[in-house]
């Protein structure tokens, strides 16, 4: 009897914790449905929501441009990182070669370098290229894609390696017996089998690129600015328009939230891969 | 891939030995060498205003990292234990619990910045107006409290990730041990202390390693919530470096401070490795 009571209590506690964790998100959505005036006076009227803040926000800042930039840059960078990682991860998972261990260590090592150390030379290099050559990297989509690809490939390799290890070798060997070469087997057999892994890696890289502020703040000026910069500029110009700010927050969370819920089963598998294997 | 990381890093280290500021920036790679001047100014020159700023930021980063990592790991473990029990709607709860991690950190900063507001923020409304727990309205975004204003959202956002990580470990754990211990009369607390914790040690080690690095390099949350200068109570290493480099054009200082930060992290990894060497070999 008492064990059942304890169980009930723990169930309730779980739901309570969940509610606490979700409440800030709920608050974000609720306040985006109010007007700026209501929020600045603290007089909420939760019963009469309005999408006013969304339309106003859309007009007052060029949010569409930031959103588009973010989508283009993050998608391209995540695609490149996943493609590189698929090749490197496959090599690490299947072949023993000299320096393989050093490469794995290097993958972890790259996470150790603070962005700021990395950022200054990249910034100077981009500016130098802009001044002295026709190669346009500073404040362009291409430049940001390059930086992000370099940034997220190491983690992506770690992800992909795990997914490839989970695919039995016999599959490729059978394909090779049937007349495929190594590359053919990789493209036709291994990649489709690793599709969930590819999706997970892509979404993971996308999430991180979406979140990145430091590099995009330094390396862009106007053309390639992404959502975080849009938000920062918005705060600078219209600090008191809280409802619009919250609306911008909702809009910039939605794409990643959708991407996450669509792929969460594989994504969670990828994240926890390290945990189960140790 | 290694090359892509190696070249800028080397460049950054070289940069830290140069005198690079507004006046020499146009010369970019040909800026004059200054030897150890940047480092001396930061570490030993007490008359240099950057010296105080640097040590303030070091202290703040330390405090921030300590609380954020501690909160994330303890909280993540607690929630993982809670979710490890069979219950109705288990999968739904586990998925929903992850959502704070999906919210981009700049949105986290904007949202909490609004929640912390002294007059109309929901935190003070709950603490003061609705429940009356506090007599007067605390100011969260200025002064001493501003550290908590960035620590708590950071925990909130980082916790789900630690939770899902520990949960996977808990589920991979053999049940027989727990059952055997229960038959021998060990209560839940002792089973946690002598079975769960030791088995989770490698996972805790991994989380600890990456959480500390991630927290020490935190930038977006203080920068968006408190602005490019979060004030002496919440100025972290990264906000300091970025502000001095890009607002004040003290690139040499920024590079030198970054190198010192990297060294600190190397020391941390070495300490970590010594402490958890045993666990890494076991797996």
The SS3 assignment for B33 reads strand
Question: Which of B110, B166, B237 lies nearest to residue A245, judging by beta carbons?
Answer: B110
Average pLDDT rounded to a whole number, residues B262-278:
85
The SS3 assignment for A274 reads helix
**Tokens linked to A167:** 């695919």
Q: Using the beta-carbon criterion (under 8 Å), do A24 and B104 form an inter-chain contact?
A: no
d(CA A57, CA B136): 34
Residues contacting residue B49 through CB under 8 Å, at least 6 positions apart: none
The SS3 assignment for B6 reads helix
**Tokens linked to A13:** 């506690």
Task: Count CB neighbours of B22 within 10 A.
Answer: 10
d(CA B4, CA B79): 39
Residues of B in contact with A275 (CB under 8 A): 165-166, 168-169, 172, 203, 206
Q: Which of A21, A150, A160 to mutate to test the interface with B (most CBs of B within 10 A)?
A: A21
Residues contacting residue A62 through CB under 8 Å, at least 6 positions apart: A230
Digit-coded pLDDT (tens) for B195-242: 888 888 888 888 888 889 888 888 888 888 887 788 788 888 888 888
What would you report as the CA-atom Rg of chain B, rounded to the nearest whole angstrom? 23
Between A125 and B9, the higher pLDDT residue: A125
**Tokens linked to B128:** 């003061």
With helix as H, strand as E and coil as C, how does B209-242 read?
A: HHHHHHHHCCCHHHHHHHCCCCCCCCCCHHHHHH
Residues of B in contact with A246 (CB under 8 A): 110-111, 114
Question: Which of B7, B12, B99 lies nearest to residue A22, judging by beta carbons?
Answer: B99
Residues in chain A: 278
* CA dihedral angle for residue B209, residue B211, residue B214, residue B215, rounded to 10 degrees: -120
- Nearest by Cα to A85 from A111, A71, A101, A104: A104
**In the 8-state DSSP scheme, what is residue A240?**
T
**Tokens linked to A185:** 């087997």
- pLDDT band for position B3 (50/70/90)? low
Digit-coded pLDDT (tens) for B15-73: 655 555 544 555 555 555 655 666 666 666 666 667 777 888 888 999 999 999 999 99
Q: Is the dihedral of CA A171, A177, A179, A182 positive or negative?
A: positive
**Tokens linked to A196:** 């969930």
- Nearest by Cα to B154 from B263, B48, B234, B43: B234
Question: Which of A119, A128, A260 lies nearest to residue B29, judging by beta carbons?
Answer: A128
Q: Using the beta-carbon criterion (under 8 Å), do A18 and B9 form an inter-chain contact?
A: no
The SS3 assignment for B18 reads strand
How far is CA B138 from each of CA A20, B112, B231, rounded to the nearest angstrom? 21, 15, 17
CB of B112 within 8 A of CB of B152?
A: yes
CA distance A14 to chain B (A): 6
CA distance A211 to chain B (A): 5
- Nearest by Cα to A77 from A226, A187, A264, A194: A226
d(CA B96, CA B92): 6
d(CA A5, CA B243): 55
d(CA A257, CA A262): 9
Question: Which of B110, B258, B283 lies nearest to residue A117, judging by beta carbons?
Answer: B258
Residues contacting residue A80 through CB under 8 Å, at least 6 positions apart: A145, A149, A153
Residues of A in contact with B245 (CB under 8 A): 116, 120
Average pLDDT rounded to a whole number, residues B254-277:
84
Nearest residue of chain A to residue B113 (CA atoms): A242
**Tokens linked to A171:** 């599959």
- Residues A11, A14, A15: CA angle, nearest 5 degrees: 90
Residues contacting residue B159 through CB under 8 Å, at least 6 positions apart: A21, B71, B72, B75, B76, B79, B100, B101
Tell me what percent of chain B is helix, strand and coil, each rounded to the nearest 5. 75, 0, 25
Residue B111 has pLDDT above 80, yes or no: yes
CA distance B138 to chain A (A): 16
User: What is this model's ipTM?
Assistant: 0.82
- pLDDT band for position B6 (50/70/90)? low
d(CA A124, CA B61): 27
Confidence (pLDDT) at B153: 92
How far is CA A91 from each of CA A101, A172, A193, B228, rounded to the nearest angstrom? 12, 14, 16, 43
Phi, psi of B18 (to 5 degrees): -110, 160
**Tokens linked to B104:** 């981009």
> A128-132, A154-158, B85-89, B138-142 — which is least confidently predicted?
A128-132
The region that residue B4 occupies, defined by phi over 0 for left and psi between -120 and 50 for alpha, beta otherwise, is: alpha
pTM recorded for the entire structure: 0.84
DSSP for A122-142, please give it: HHHHHHHHHHHSS---TTSHH
- Residues B81, B72, B144: CA angle, nearest 5 degrees: 140
Q: Using the beta-carbon criterion (under 8 Å), do B110 and A277 form an inter-chain contact?
A: no
What would you report as the CA-atom Rg of chain A, rounded to the nearest whole angstrom? 23
The burial class, CB within 10 Å (0-12 / 13-18 / 19+), for A239 is exposed
Count the alpha carbons within 13 Å of B49 in the hemisphere toward its beta carbon: 4
d(CA B51, CA B49): 5
User: Across the 278 residues of chain A, what is the mean pLDDT of every consecutive 10-residue run?
Assistant: 81 90 89 78 72 79 84 91 85 72 69 72 77 74 84 80 79 78 78 83 88 83 81 76 85 89 81 58
Between A105 and B190, the higher pLDDT residue: B190
């Amino acid at each position: 009897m008492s064990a059942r009571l304890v169980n009930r209590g723990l169930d309730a506690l779980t739901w309570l914790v969940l509610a606490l964790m979700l409440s800030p998100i709920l608050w974000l959505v609720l306040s985006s449905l109010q007007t700026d005036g209501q929020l600045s006076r603290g007089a909420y009227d939760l019963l009469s929501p309005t999408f006013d803040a969304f339309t106003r926000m859309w007009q007052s800042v060029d949010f569409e441009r930031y959103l588009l930039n973010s989508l283009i840059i993050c998608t391209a960078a995540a695609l490149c990182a996943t493609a590189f990682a698929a090749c490197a991860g496959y090599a690490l998972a299947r072949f023993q070669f000299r320096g393989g261990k050093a490469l794995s260590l290097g993958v972890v090592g790259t996470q150790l370098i603070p962005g700021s150390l990395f950022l200054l030379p990249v910034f100077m290099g981009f500016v130098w290229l802009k001044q002295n050559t026709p190669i346009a990297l500073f404040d362009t989509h291409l430049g940001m894609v390059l930086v992000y690809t370099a940034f997220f490939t190491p983690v992506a390799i770690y992800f992909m390696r795990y997914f490839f290890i989970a695919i039995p070798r016999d599959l490729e060997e059978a394909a090779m017996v049937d007349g495929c070469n190594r590359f053919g087997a990789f493209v036709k057999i291994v990649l489709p089998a690793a599709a969930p892994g590819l999706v997970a890696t892509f979404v993971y890289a996308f999430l991180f690129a979406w979140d990145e502020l430091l590099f995009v703040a330094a390396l862009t000026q106007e053309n390639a600015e992404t959502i975080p910069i849009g938000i920062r500029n918005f705060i600078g110009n219209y600090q008191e328009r809280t409802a619009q700010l919250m609306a911008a927050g909702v809009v910039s969370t939605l794409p990643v939230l959708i991407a996450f819920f669509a792929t969460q089963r594989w994504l969670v598998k990828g994240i926890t891969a390290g945990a189960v294997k140790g | 891939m290694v090359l892509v990381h190696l070249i800028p890093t080397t460049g950054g280290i070289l940069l830290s030995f140069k005198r690079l500021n507004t006046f020499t920036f146009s010369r970019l790679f040909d800026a004059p060498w200054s030897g150890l001047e940047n480092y001396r100014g930061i570490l030993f020159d007490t008359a240099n205003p950057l010296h105080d700023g640097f040590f303030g930021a070091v202290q703040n980063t330390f405090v921030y990292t300590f609380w954020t990592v501690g909160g994330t790991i303890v909280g993540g473990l607690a929630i993982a234990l809670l979710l490890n029990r069979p219950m109705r709607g288990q999968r739904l709860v586990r998925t929903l619990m992850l959502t704070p991690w999906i919210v981009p950190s700049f949105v986290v900063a904007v949202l909490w910045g609004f929640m912390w507001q002294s007059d109309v923020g929901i935190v003070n409304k709950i603490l003061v107006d609705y429940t009356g727990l506090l007599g007067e309205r605390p100011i969260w975004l200025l002064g001493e409290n501003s550290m908590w204003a960035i620590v708590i959202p950071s925990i909130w956002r980082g916790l789900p990730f630690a939770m899902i990580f520990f949960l996977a470990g808990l589920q991979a754990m053999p049940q027989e041990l727990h059952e055997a211990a229960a038959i021998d009369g060990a209560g839940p607390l002792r089973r946690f202390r002598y079975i769960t914790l030791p088995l989770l040690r490698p996972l805790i080690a991994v989380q600890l390693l990456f959480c500390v690095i991630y927290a020490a390099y935190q930038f977006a949350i203080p920068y968006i919530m408190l602005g490019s200068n979060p004030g002496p109570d919440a100025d972290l290493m990264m906000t300091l470096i970025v502000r001095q480099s890009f607002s004040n054009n003290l690139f040499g200082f920024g590079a030198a401070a970054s190198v010192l930060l990297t060294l600190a992290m190397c020391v941390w990894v070495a300490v970590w490795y010594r402490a958890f060497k045993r666990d890494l070999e076991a797996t």
